[in-house]
Amino acid sequence: MVSETLTHMDCRNYAPVDAAKGICHRTKQLVVADDHRCDAFTKLPKCKHCEHYLAGKELYTGICRAVKDTPMTYPDLAAVTCDWFQWNDRKPQK
């Protein structure tokens, strides 16, 4: 079974500084983007967590099925302002 590893960069409290690190809004400390999440983790809406997202054939690409012309999107694109975002409750496929 595929399991998703959630990191600091998947948290609402994370503010990126560059590609490798960011600042935690809660602690005001510098954190490494892909380190393990903390206990105060709050999942950030991203395309990869959306019911309408369909992963592409190439790594780090996909499409949004919520829009008629199915535009290309990135799995890690923040979707906090997307009107079509819906949490994906489906279990990962084997």
Cα 49 versus chain centre, distance: 6
Domains and CATH numbers, the chain: 1-44 (2.20.70.100), 45-83 (2.20.70.100)
User: Per-10-residue mean pLDDT for the chain, 94 residues long?
Assistant: 74 95 95 92 94 92 93 94 91 46
61 phi-psi bin (left φ>0, alpha ψ -120 to 50, beta other): beta
Residue positions counted in the chain: 94
- Kindly report whether the global pTM for this prediction surpasses the value 0.75: yes
Q: What per-residue confidence (pLDDT) applies to 91?
A: 53
How distant, in Å, are the alpha carbons of 10, 60, 87, 91 from that of 63? 19, 11, 16, 19
Predicted confidence at residue 66, as pLDDT, reads: 94
